[in-house]
Amino acid sequence: MGRDEPTADPLIEATGLRKQFGEFTAVDGIDVQVQRGEAFGFLGPNGAGKSSTMRMIGCVSPPSGGELRILGMDPRSDGARIRARLGVVPQQDSLDGELTVRDNLLIYGRYFGLSRAECRVRADELLEFANLTERADAMVEPLSGGMKRRLTIARALINRPEILLLDEPTTGLDPQARHVLWDRLFRLKRQGVTLVLTTHYMDEAEQLCDRLVVMDGGRIVAEGTPRSLIETWSTREVLELRFDDEDLTPHAEKLDGVADRIEVLPDRLLLYVDDGEEATVAAHQRGVQPLSSLARRSTLEDVFLRLTGRTLVD
Ligand SMILES: Nc1ncnc2c1ncn2[C@@H]1O[C@H](COP(=O)(O)OP(=O)(O)OP(=O)(O)O)[C@@H](O)[C@H]1O
């Protein structure tokens, strides 16, 4: 399936979905459709309402309002039937550290009602998928963060779910472990598993997601493919100029007219331009002397900054 052509078969449909905690509104009436076979992302900073949304989709937290249908069913009346067809990877690994890697899988399989023989076959397949076959009989506790994450994902796949929900799958992992994990998620997608994930890493959203929504303060502020979001909300390139001055406004004023838009951050200016090299020359001609300058292509981070006035990770 092409990145931009998911089949029109919505597995998740939310309309006006809300989550209240007392007076506080964590999710404020969002509309979302996730199609079969796509990788769909919720991108936003801490507190945006991503986990609250995932918990409603995972049928562990009832919606406070709006409509939610998953696999054509209503979580209020069909929670158990839906959960049987979902895999859930929570933000915090909840593995049993006092069991072996394999036993963590076997126990979960039994919980989903698989026979002992089925559990053994499935555990072996998943150990291989997670690249943990050699660790099958090791205890979980001393494993690296990346291994634990892969085991948590393997465990969530024991029931061959149609939808895999991943809440911040790579938070806390080092770059290499993140890439290994992305590779495994690509494999799942190729096998037809629908992926729904939250992240506050823009590179993760760009790499993994066919489509995503940008969330802030419980609301969806933009929706589209990574490319369409960047094309709609940013310029082709961004020139980053770093300074160690207290106030960067005077530099920004000198650059008036050089860029479509200039963002003044505490340590740098971001110039939104079509041609970073041209803007570098223009800045030089105006006598602006940064500590360093870097022209790069626009990213979802720039989209987020444009939409909310804040960076994704403060
Ligand atoms: N059980 C709860 N009771 C009260 N407030 C809650 C509860 N769960 C979440 N919230 C609040 O709802 C808001 C959204 O939280 P949520 O965890 O959904 O955000 P998030 O986008 O997933 O962020 P994070 O990356 O920190 O998980 C936050 O302000 C949070 O404090």
Which residue, among 297, 239, 296, has the nearest Cα to 268 in the 3D structure?
Answer: 239
Q: Answer yes or no: is the C-beta of 51 below 6 A from any ligand 1 atom.
A: yes
Closest ligand 1 atom to the C-alpha of 198?
A: 22
- CA of residue 91 to ligand 1 center, whole Å: 12
pLDDT band, residue 7 (cuts 50/70/90):
low
Q: Answer yes or no: is the C-beta of 135 below 6 A from any ligand 1 atom.
A: no
pLDDT tens column, 185-213 = 999 999 999 999 998 888 899 989 999 99
As a whole number, the mean pLDDT across the chain is: 92
Q: Answer yes or no: is the C-beta of 52 below 6 A from any ligand 1 atom.
A: yes
Residue with CA at minimum distance from ligand 1 atom 16: 49
- Which pLDDT value is given to residue 281? 95
Q: Output 305 or 70, whichever has higher pLDDT.
A: 70
Q: Is the pLDDT of residue 117 over 50?
A: yes
- Which pLDDT value is given to residue 3? 47
Q: Which of 17, 18, 23, 24 to mutate to test the pocket of ligand 1 (most atoms within 8 A of CB)?
A: 24
Closest ligand 1 atom to the C-alpha of 19?
A: 12
Written as six digits, the tokens of 152 are: 């948590």
CA distance 15 to 22: 21
CA distance 273 to 261: 8
Q: Is the pLDDT of residue 4 over 70?
A: no
Closest ligand 1 atom to the C-alpha of 215?
A: 21
pLDDT tens column, 142-182 = 999 999 999 999 999 999 999 999 999 988 888 888 898 89
- CA of residue 195 to ligand 1 center, whole Å: 21
Mean pLDDT over 103-120 rounds to: 93
CA distance 25 to 51: 13
- Which pLDDT value is given to residue 2? 45
Which residue, among 52, 19, 29, 38, has the nearest Cα to 198 in the 3D structure?
Answer: 52
Which of 20-34, 151-165, 205-219, 297-311 shows the lowest mean pLDDT across its residues?
297-311
- CA of residue 75 to ligand 1 center, whole Å: 20
Q: Answer yes or no: is the C-beta of 24 below 6 A from any ligand 1 atom.
A: yes
Q: Answer yes or no: is the C-beta of 47 below 6 A from any ligand 1 atom.
A: yes
- Which pLDDT value is given to residue 45? 86
Q: Answer yes or no: is the C-beta of 25 below 6 A from any ligand 1 atom.
A: no
- Which pLDDT value is given to residue 1? 42
Q: Answer yes or no: is the C-beta of 50 below 6 A from any ligand 1 atom.
A: yes
Side-chain-side CA neighbours of residue 167 (13 Å): 20
- Please report, for residues 7, 41, 59, 166, the alpha-carbon distance to residue 54 in angstroms, rounded to integers and kept in the order given: 22, 11, 9, 8
Q: What percent of the chain is predicted at pLDDT more than 90?
A: 82
Residue with CA at minimum distance from ligand 1 atom 31: 47
Q: Answer yes or no: is the C-beta of 276 below 6 A from any ligand 1 atom.
A: no
- Which pLDDT value is given to residue 8? 63
- ipTM for this model: 0.94
pLDDT tens column, 36-85 = 999 999 998 889 999 999 999 999 999 999 999 999 999 999 999 999 99
Q: Answer yes or no: is the C-beta of 48 below 6 A from any ligand 1 atom.
A: yes
Q: What percent of the chain is predicted at pLDDT more than 70?
A: 96
Q: Answer yes or no: is the C-beta of 49 below 6 A from any ligand 1 atom.
A: yes
Residue with CA at minimum distance from ligand 1 atom 29: 47
CA distance 289 to 40: 42
- Which pLDDT value is given to residue 313? 65
- Which pLDDT value is given to residue 9? 74
The answer to whether the CB of 155 falls within 8 A of the CB of 93 is no
Q: Is the pLDDT of residue 103 over 90?
A: yes
